[in-house]
A and B are shown apart, each in its own frame.
Chain A
């Protein structure tokens, strides 16, 4: 059932295909999985990073260290964010020194989240490089940041929001564009 003003960008199968392509691109560029680690940005990047981890395991037979970062404490708008909400988990239980870190997020928007995530990563060590993989790039960058691996480029207006719903069975997954301003990254 389609509500007015809600446009489906990807369904479950679509998300699977896009992630498969992203995984292959990551492996191609890094010549395998031996030096990479995955770090999902809470909350949207966490399930995606797990899915990519599984795909790498299926393709290369390598279990890639996978962690998450919560960037709340690194936000540049913390003082303007209103009331504090609950912090999410940060878990990077491995060294990122001299590793190639693949940051994973669901939607790339202003780039401010990515800036904060990179600052957070630098507090964990000194990675060889940081690469960025996103499911959706919706444009409107406010910082000089671009993704190395993009699932879909989706032109949007500021008044729209991209929602990535990846929970439960693959058939229920979807990425939709809705006409509610505010959120989106």
Chain B
């Protein structure tokens, strides 16, 4: 198979072969990261622009690292230091950046669909690094990659995702990456944060964390987005933590070799107890590790070939 995609906007239209292609490429990238010299010249002379309209350290650093490991030049634009604060529109910002001839723009934006919009107006490749509550495709791919590395397979495995399903773009990408590879997905959260329509994806919905975690192979805890809690989706953080936080007693219902994942940053003591976050079953830091390899794979596939110039 050849890679023919110019943009990575979401995983909704990825075919399973494409997902496997990325995973295979990420494996080669991970090998590069084990060397003494963790750099290959694949994207020499190419430029990757990180255009972040929302706060992010992990994802932005991860993309920056990925680009640099491939010898691309990486430029970071963040909204707080750019002309966006002076009233420039998204399209103008993007066109100005495009005029500087980058190969790839990595964008994070609070509005769902912003990357899709840009992809129709600029000629370089666009990678979605999170758009509103829509998708976060590289997170979906790195979650899959991390599980594959830890468990060998995802098909038939019970994977529970617990937390604020409503606002989570990670869930929407995980549903595609894990779902298309045959995982049995369970979504769990308070009824106010668990949209019924998500059931149409084939996932099982429940408001009972014990039911979700029971016999699970993987438990993915989502961050309670404190900044989005101005509307009262649940009575109090304390109650949320008591009912939907993962602690030893709930986690003991999962399979013995079950693993815990979290896209970060963790609200310790709210969705995930301190001891579990640091325990041997926690893959949180492995996710970060996989993130660089997966993002290297995406940048390599988009900017490495000549179709990027077409």
Q: Interface of A with B (CB < 8 Å)? A: 70, 72-74, 78-91, 119-120, 123-125
Q: Which of B28, B35, B70 contacts A89 (CB 8 A)?
A: B28
Alpha-carbon separation in the docked complex, A72 to B31 (Å): 14
- B1: nearest residue on chain A (CB-CB)? A86
**A82-B306 in contact (CB<8A):** yes
B93 to chain A, nearest CB (A): 27
Q: Are A78 and B42 in contact (CB under 8 A)?
A: yes
Known: A87-B28, A123-B35. 19 other contacts (CB 8 A): A73-B40, A74-B40, A74-B41, A78-B42, A79-B304, A81-B305, A81-B306, A84-B2, A84-B300, A84-B301, A84-B305, A85-B1, A86-B24, A86-B25, A90-B28, A90-B32, A91-B31, A123-B36, A124-B36
Looking at the complex, which one of B39, B305, B307, B309 makes contact with A123 (CB distance below 8 Å)?
B39
B24 contacts A125, C-beta separation under 8 Å? no
Give A90 to B34 CA distance when docked, in angstroms. 11
Q: In the complex, what residues of B have CB within 8 A of residue A124's CB?
A: 35-37
> In whole angstroms, how far apart are the Cα atoms of A125 and B35 in the complex?
9
B4 within 8 A of A: yes
Residues of A within 8 A of B40 (CB): 73-74, 120, 123
Q: Nearest chain-B residue to A123 (Cβ)?
A: B37
Chain B residue at minimum C-beta to C-beta distance from A90: B31
**Is B234's CB within 8 Å of the partner chain A?**
no
Q: Which residue of B lies closest to A120 (CB)?
A: B40
- Interfacial residues of chain B within 124-166, with CB under 8 A of chain A in the complex: none
CB distance from A162 to the nearest CB of B (A): 24
Chain A residues within 8 Å of B305, by CB: 78-79, 81-84
Q: How far is the CB of B123 from chain A (nearest CB, A)?
A: 16
**In the complex the two chains form, is B2's CB within 8 Å of A85's CB?**
yes
Count class of interface residues, chain B: 20 to 34
Q: Does B240 contact A (CB under 8 A)?
A: no
Q: Chain B's nearest CB lies how many Å from the CB of A77? A: 9
B35 x A80 contact (CB < 8 A): no
Find the B residue at minimum CB distance from A83: B2
- Distance to closest chain A CB from B153 (angstroms): 20
> Which residues of the other chain, A, contact B41 by a CB distance below 8 angstroms?
73-74, 119
Find out whether the CB atom of A83 lies under 8 angstroms from the CB atom of B25. no
> Which residue of the partner chain A has the closest CB to B46?
A79
Nearest 8 Cβ contacts at the A-B interface: A83-B2, A73-B42, A87-B28, A73-B40, A84-B3, A123-B37, A84-B305, A84-B301
Once bound together, how far apart are the Cα atoms of A67 and B153, in whole Å? 27
Q: Verify if B21 is at the interface (C-beta below 8 Å from A).
A: yes
Complex CA–CA separation, A78 to B300 (angstroms):
10
21 CB-based A-B contacts, threshold 8 Å: A73-B28, A73-B41, A73-B42, A74-B42, A78-B304, A78-B305, A81-B304, A83-B3, A83-B305, A84-B3, A84-B301, A85-B2, A87-B24, A87-B25, A87-B28, A89-B28, A89-B31, A90-B28, A91-B31, A120-B40, A124-B37
- The docked-state distance in angstroms from the alpha carbon of A30 to that of B21 is 41
Chain A residues with CB under 8 A of B300: 73, 84
Residues of chain A contacted by B42 (CB below 8 angstroms): 72-74, 78
Task: Find chain B residues with CB under 8 A from A80 CB.
Answer: 306
By a CB distance below 8 angstroms, the chain A residues around B24 are 86-87
Once the chains bind, are B307 and A125 in contact (CB under 8 Å)? Answer: no
**Which residue of the partner chain A has the closest CB to B25?**
A87
Shortest distance between the CB of B72 and any CB in chain A (Å): 12
Look across to chain B and name the residue whose beta carbon is closest to the beta carbon of A124. B35
For B28, what are the chain A residues with a Cβ–Cβ distance below 8 Å? 70, 73, 87-90
Shortest Cβ distance from A77 into B: residue? B306
A84 to chain B: which residues have CB within 8 Å?
Answer: 2-3, 25, 300-301, 304-305
The listed residue with most A CB atoms (<10 A of its CB), out of B28, B36, B70, B307, is B28
How far is B24's CA from A80's CA once the two chains are assembled, in angstroms?
22
The A-contacting residues of B in range 9-49, CB under 8 angstroms, are 21, 24-25, 28, 31-32, 35-37, 39-42, 45
